[in-house]
Every structure is written in structure tokens, then in C-alpha cells.
Structure 1
């Protein structure tokens, strides 16, 4: 047998404990390796790796009552809203008090009379009534025609621009197809007569629709008549943003009825009240971009279509009868239980199981007969 002995290089003799040697021995041969490569103290820190975190789905553990973590709800997808010209926003139009227009009109008439007197065209009777001096009789020359034109234009513009603003009404003004402003002021006003005017009603309105198609929570078709309370908030968008704001409101109501189930009165999910709140929210959201403000959309009459009206009526009667019977039965059971408990608790009677069953049966029959219902 051969014995293997380890060879210790003489360079390693006499080293203190914990002191490193600069050479490694392998097969009797020494190789120098830089120490800073084996023990690096100046290692640069590594950049942290960013790992996207996702919500984990944990399944139910067997034989434990633990429920899995609920997944986060998916974000609601919002439908793109209709885009309206950003410049098409209601703004007040430039108007003058009515007194300014009346004064301009009076000045125009006075100028025409003065020009007629200057040209000698004023009748003598009018001169005497107005107590004017004798006319110069200059005739109708270019100067007189120019004065006539200026005075006439002033009078026409002064009296032609006078208008009366009423409470609850407004004027939408435009020029060459461009929106120029809205007049909401009341009283006597002067508005540029060259601007076309479109009168709109900004009062609170009630619109009652004819029966529209809808469905209940079970998908059974209905005919629903709704009452919409609304008004025109932005006259510029309501008048110029859509072709017909009333037709647009009607279409929005029909679209909302197609999305919201309407439950007849007496239902378990809130009936027409809950449906009305949801309809109001949807219609107000759809009509806001066109300047209409909706306050309430309430179903007035909810009826099943004739094809299913009879069947749904029978179902409703059966459901109502079942509810009444269930309530009556609960009342009878409570009465029988209370009677038997009081009799046995006070020691008035001693009953075994058979006698207790017979007493309960007799009392149940008696109470049901007393309420007018068959046992």
C-alpha cells in the first residue's frame, strides 16, 4: 500500500493564524494569484431589478373555511363623450339699454324733419305747428340727400334694434353663421338689428313621453311612459350644437331605457324609484355636453306588453297570494306555540308527545278556521 502525505510549502511555515498566503499549492507546484481577485472589498453594488407586482389569486385551502382573495374589479370602460366646438359656449351678447336706441331713433326723425325744412320740402302747416322760421328753400341737392340718408339710417337703427327681454326667455344672436352671444337680460333693450335672433325658452320644462319599449329585471318586455324635468342650461350648445335638442333628449331617454331594467311597482328591488334614479343619472350624463340640464326622469306608467300581460298578472296574483299565505302561516304557528307553552308552563295540563301533537293539530285547525282560511 502506498501512503499519501501532504506537502506543506516552506513559505507557509511560521504564518500567524488568520494570515493569508499569496500562493496556492497544487501538485507540488506553486502559482501566484493576486489576492484582490479572491477577496474583493470594493465590489460595486448591483442595480435592483424591478419586478412588476400583480395581484395574486389564492385558491381556497382544502378542509379550511378560507375564501380566496377577491380579484380587483376591472376598471370601468368609459364611452367617449360627444365633442362639441369648444368655442360654442354661451356668453353674454353686447346690448345697450333701450333708452339709447329710443334716443337714436328720435334723433333720426328730428334730422329728417330738419333736412326737409332746410330743403324747403316741409309743408307750411307743419312749419306753423312747429313754429319754425321761414325755410331757406335750398332744394334737394347732394347735401340734403346725404343728410336724409344719415338721419334715416340713424332712425331705422335706433327703432329697429329695440326689443323687450322677458323673464325665462333668451335671444341667441348670430352673424354670417357665427355665434355672437346670448341675451338673457330683461326689460327694454337695444340689439343690433343686423344680427339674426333666435328666441329660446330657458324655463323649467316637463316632457311626458308616449309609451316606450323597456324590460323588467327578468327581460320581460314592457311599455313605459316617463316624465322628464329639464331645462336649457347652455343656449349656444342646445341651439347650435345639435339640430333639434328636444329630439336629442328623446333619443337619450330611449337609450337609457334600453340599458336600465324597470321593475313595476311593488317589486323587491326598489321598483320605479330605483329605476328613476338610474335613468336620471344616465340621461343627465348624456345631455350635459349639448347644454341640457336634466333634473328627473321618472317612469309614470309601467305596463307589460299585451302578449304577456295576462300571464304576468296571474304570476303577480300567485306571488301575492303565496306571500299572504306564508305570513298567515307564520302567525298561526306562533300563536299555537305560545298557547301550548303557556298551558304547559303554568301546569294547567300535562301532555305526553302524542297528546301534544293532537293539541297542536287541533289548535292549528281552530286558528286557521277562525281566520277564514281552510286548514
Structure 2
């Protein structure tokens, strides 16, 4: 496997100056009826100097091969001259955004979900990108889809079915993104690609189970809210009975205490406002 070699070719301005001198010489010889010499000098300039001139823009590179052998990569921007028989291939070093399509896969528990990811990548090793894979852009697309599928199969959507799950796709965004980046870098290292960032951009249950899962989430939320309300109400009832006893405002026997606890729990746990009823008698009538 080829590894990247950085090369620094000579300046192209010297070669361009030489070509202009040869051109001026050819014109002079042509004016003085030296046709053969004029043609020869022009051929030298056109075939050996001009084809070797290259321009490398910022955040770009040129991969050079000579007669099938990799000779190096020019990463420095500027105007250069290389061997005119060299094959020059431009490789961009800019960062790319891959907005992956929505994939329908099963999570760890077998629930069908829809998932998509946004991946930021760039070419790190130009030699690997050119010589190790057929098409490095297509390679990134296919391997990214495979990594997202593997990630979805490795974790549950949420922890409704298994509360012991430490990482879920919905709740562990940072951990999931870190694992996605790690797996992508391992998969794309062969092509000389570095993943700068990878994040889940879309996550949802598949349409066929979305309504059922929504009802389940709503039920879980209601149960959790009810649990918290009851815990708070019990604490308030306990505090009320304790304060009344401390202040010696009223003494309760077990029956009266039970009646008061029942009334307070109805008031505190009810969904609607309670209409008070004034009791002019006693608790026993």
C-alpha cells in the first residue's frame, strides 16, 4: 500500500521564463530564415516545458505518477514545474459534508427505526485515496452507511424495555457520536480519509410502530408524573399531621386521622379542582 510522500518541485516561473526565451529565440530564427531550428526550439518548448507547468490552489493537492510509479504529492499552493511526462491528478483537501439518507434498520431490541447521520470528512493521505480504493468518495458513502447501520444495531432506541441500558440512541447523543466517529475512522483509514465529526441527524421509530411507541412513552410519562405527585402528596400529608400535633391544634384518633389523610390525598392528587364541603357536624355524623 502506497503512503503519502510530500514533494516540492521547482518554481514554475523559472520554467515559464525559459519558455519565453525559447519562444523569442524561435521567432528570431524564423525571421532570419532558419526554419528547421525555429521548429525544433518550438517543439522543445511546447512538449517539454509547457506540459510540466502546474498550478496548485489552496486546500488542493496534485498526486504525481511517472510511468506508473508514484513520485509524490504536491500540497504547497503555488506555481510549479514538474516532469512533463508526469500524470497529475488533483485531489481536494477541503472538508466535505455527507448528509446521509434515512435508513430503516432494527435497533438492539429488534424495533424498526429510522436513522440518518451527518458526517464531516476530508482527505488526509492522498496516496491512499488515489491508489488504495477505486473511488474514495463512493467508498466514504458506502462505509458510512454501513457504520450507521452497525451503530443502530448495537444500541436500543431508548431504555423503556431495559432500564439497565447505559447508552441509548436517543439518550446518549454524545457517546453515540463519539463511537460513530471512532468506527468511521477505523473503516475509512484504508482510503486515507479522516472523519472530523459524525452526528445523528435523524432518529425516529418506523411509521408502523410509531403510534404504539408514542402511546407507550406517554403512558410511561404519566406513570412517572403520578409517582412524583403521590410522593409529594404523602410528604405534605405527613408534614400537616406532624405540625398539627406539635401545635396541639387538634387531636386525632385513628379514624379521624384516616379520614383527613384520605381527604388531603384526594385534594393533592386529583386532576381537577376540588369543591370544598363545609361539615357543620362531626366526623361521626
TM class by smaller structure: 0.7 to 0.9
1:365 paired residue number: 266
Structure 1 gap segments, 5+ residues each? 1-84, 121-138
Matches of 1:190 and 1:205, distance apart in 2: 29
User: Which TM-score applies when normalising by structure 2?
Assistant: 0.83
Structure 2 gap segments, 5+ residues each? 275-285
Matches of 2:149 and 2:175, distance apart in 1: 15
Matches of 1:372 and 1:265, distance apart in 2: 32
User: Which TM-score applies when normalising by structure 1?
Assistant: 0.64
Matching of residue 330 in structure 1 with residue 244 in structure 2: no
1:6 paired residue number: none
Deviations 1:266-319 (A, max 9, x none): 987333332222111111112123211012221111122222222222212222
Given candidates 89, 93, 111, the residue that maps to 2:3 is 89
Larger Rg: 1
Matches of 2:94 and 2:204, distance apart in 1: 31
2:280 paired residue number: none
Matches of 1:176 and 1:157, distance apart in 2: 16
Is contact 1:103-1:158 (8 Å) kept? no
Matches of 2:245 and 2:3, distance apart in 1: 82
Matches of 2:52 and 2:18, distance apart in 1: 10
Matches of 1:289 and 1:188, distance apart in 2: 31
Matches of 2:249 and 2:135, distance apart in 1: 83
Question: Structure with the greater relative contact order (CA < 8 A, sep ≥ 6): 1 or 2?
Answer: 2
1:211 paired residue number: 102
SS at match of 1:347: coil
Aligned pairs for 1:344-363 within 5 A: 344-363=245-264
After TM superposition, where is structure 1 displaced by more than 4 Å over at least 4 residues in a row?
Answer: 262-268
Is contact 1:109-1:152 (8 Å) kept? no
Matches of 2:273 and 2:201, distance apart in 1: 37
* Superposed displacement of residue 263, structure 1: 5.1
Given candidates 186, 204, 208, the residue that maps to 1:307 is 208
1:158 paired residue number: 49
Matching of residue 178 in structure 1 with residue 178 in structure 2: no
1:244 paired residue number: 135
